[in-house]
Amino acid sequence: MYKAARYALRLDPSPGASVDVMVINKDLMAASSTPIVLAILAEGDSYGYAILQRVRELSGGHLEWTDGMLYPVLHRLERLGHVKARWKVAESGRRRKYYRITSGGRAQLAEERRQWQTVDSTLRGIWSAALPQGA
Amino acid sequence: MPVPGDSGFLEEQIGQWRAYLHRRQAIQPVDAAELEDHLREHVASLTAAGLSADEAFLVAVKRMGALDDLSREFAREHSERLWKQLVLVSTDAAVPAARVRTEAIFALALAVAAAALFKLPALFGKDTAHYPTFYARIFALVVLPLLTGFFVWKRRLDTRTVRWLAAGFAAAVVFATVYPFAKGGNTEVLTALHLPIALALLVGIAYAGGRWSQVAGRMDFVRFAGELLIYYALIAFGGGVLSALIGMMFHAIGIDPQAFIGEWLLPCGAAGAVLVASWLVETKQSVIENMAPVLTRLFTPLFAAALVTFLGTVLWTGRGVDIQRDVLIGFDLLLVVVLGLLLYSVSARDPASPPSAFDGLQVVLLVSALLADAVALWAIAARITELGFTPNRVAALGENLILLVNLAWSAVLHIRFLRGRGSFASLEKWQTDYLPVYAAWAAVVVIVFPPLFGWI
């Protein structure tokens, strides 16, 4: 299995697969997953696999989620009413669960965005003022 | 033989992976389908990039994440799934939803029929308040044939068996209604108490659906009966709360609902609840943990301790059992409870597992119950001629002997098993073989006792 996983780094067709994956701590992952998923769904309806591809693409391959873990996140957003799910038959002929952002989800996304921007601008202030680059 | 790389091999691998997912309680079939779609798309894109099917599968599965972590995340999001729910609409593809619905409708219709039939004599001037023993006598006659009908329908019994069952019930109707009982007399009460036991045999034959001759079939009926009792008690408790609240509310507006509760709610509820409870037990079978074995585990040590203490006290103080009217019935009940504790631990046990400390405890329970009963029987035997043979006393004595024989031989078999000289299966066989004996004795009480004692 390990051998196959190494193949994957070379052969995975997703863009940026050869870039080193950054290890991000669990809490930060959990906190950022909501705005990321909601923002991707704000671009248009999507399903699990495509959402993960988009995450990989947006992060330039630096951000790598364990695939299965996306689904409990989607189910939580569904329970909170931020997204709506429905089953459709995809081109492949398989049944696939598509997710769509709701108006409540958009409001949540705007709120998340405001919060993250505050955190981000605060950190930017400190990074440039107190610490030299790359410390 | 599929070789790595071909699509049959891939399907087999995905099938295995799906089976692993289905074993996780927190991951439901619908989630498994969503994850499988993901896995397939990932595999497809990897094979398109040049990986062989088995390599692609391994990569995709690894990227999906460890099953334990995944199931933990699902459980965190869907914690309610860890509590097994009674799902009346089947998610199991093997049982079509239409069948489940038909069964529910049929069971409810039978419950309504039971309630209506039970109230039928009221049309002929027999109200529940003035003829309580009459209603007690016909209760089993109304409810158990309908319950048997449910199983006849569900198990699709052959006409020959159905004819025998019908003949049994017809005979019961004759003996319970034609006999000229003295109103409220001993023999009438005995009939009311013993008729359900005798007729339970017919229900059991229908329940087992052609497997009555096998130990497993009879044991399934024992399990069913235990769960039915527990469900019935719970429904009765709920009914009690409902009646009390109805009483309170209508009293508050100056209307007395006692007549409605006593004449309608209670009798109709008591009759209908048997059918509803049976249907629930049938439906939930595999969904919810069985309660009877759990209660058995809880109470076996407590009863064993109580009995050993009782025997110790008798020995220490030298007190004999004072034979009052109901002592014998009390000791019968004790033996019934001990038998129940034995039966439901047998029913839940894996016959292949070796003797454990719990088996030892059970032998203590059995032996101490036998000794306690012997003490009581000794006291009765000494005074039986002086007390006289009333129908109640003879019935109680007969039951005591029947239970005593069962428990004594059970103790022997259990001790043999503990000492590695016998198998547990022999105890199981003994218990299930003995079931018709109770029904036979109950039938004797119903058929022979009233004329023998002059309908008193």
Q: What confidence score (pLDDT) does residue A131 get?
A: 63
- One digit per residue, the tens of pLDDT, for chain B of length 456 reads 444 556 788 888 888 888 888 888 788 888 888 999 999 999 999 999 998 888 899 999 998 888 888 888 888 888 777 666 555 554 444 556 677 788 889 999 999 999 999 988 888 877 777 788 888 888 999 999 999 999 999 988 889 999 999 999 999 988 888 888 887 788 888 888 999 999 999 999 999 988 888 888 899 899 899 999 999 999 999 999 999 999 999 999 998 888 888 888 999 999 999 999 999 888 876 555 678 888 888 999 999 999 999 999 988 887 777 766 667 888 888 999 999 999 888 888 877 788 888 888 999 999 999 998 888 888 777 777 777 778 888 888 899 899 999 999 999 999 998 888 888 888 889 999 999 999 999 999 999 988 888 877
> Based on the domain organization, do B31 and B167 belong to the same domain?
no
Nearest CB to A71 within list B35, B50, B60 = B35
The CATH number given to whatever domain includes residue A50 is: 1.10.10.10
Domain boundary among B225, B258, B288: B288
> Based on the domain organization, do B121 and B183 belong to the same domain?
yes
Q: How far is CA A14 from CA A8, A37, A58, B48, in A?
A: 10, 18, 11, 12
| Residue B450 within a domain | no
Q: What confidence score (pLDDT) does residue B325 get?
A: 62
From CA B256, how far away is CA B71, in angstroms rounded?
Answer: 56
A66 vs B38: CB contact, 8 Å cut-off?
A: no
| Residue B359 within a domain | yes
| Residue B210 within a domain | yes
> Based on the domain organization, do B242 and B118 belong to the same domain?
yes
Q: How far is A3 from chain B (nearest CA, A)?
A: 9
Domain housing A14 = 10-130
> Based on the domain organization, do B335 and B408 belong to the same domain?
yes
Which amino acid would we find at residue A66?
T
Instruction: Indicate the number of domains in chain B.
Output: 3
> Based on the domain organization, do B181 and B311 belong to the same domain?
no
Q: What confidence score (pLDDT) does residue B242 get?
A: 95
A13 vs B40: CB contact, 8 Å cut-off?
A: no
| Residue B2 within a domain | no
Prediction ipTM score:
0.78
Kindly report the CA angle at B424 between B421 and B429, in degrees rounded to 5? 115
Closest by CA to A48, choosing from A73, A72, A71, is: A71
Domain boundary among B82, B108, B134: B82
Q: How far is B273 from chain A (nearest CA, A)?
A: 37
Q: What confidence score (pLDDT) does residue B2 get?
A: 45
Taking the model in full, what pTM does it have?
Answer: 0.72
Domain housing B141 = 95-288
| Residue B439 within a domain | no
Q: Which helix (H) or strand (E) holds A89?
A: strand A83-89
Query: Which residue of B39, B72, B73, B76 is the best one to mutate when testing the A interface, meaning the one whose CB has the most A CBs within 10 A?
Result: B73
| Residue B438 within a domain | no
> Based on the domain organization, do B237 and B299 belong to the same domain?
no
Closest by CA to B77, choosing from A6, A27, A79, is: A79
Instruction: Indicate the number of domains in chain A.
Output: 1
Q: Between these two residues, B388 and A80, which has the higher pLDDT value?
A: A80
Domain boundary among B269, B288, B307: B288
- Tokens 């023999």 identify what position? B187
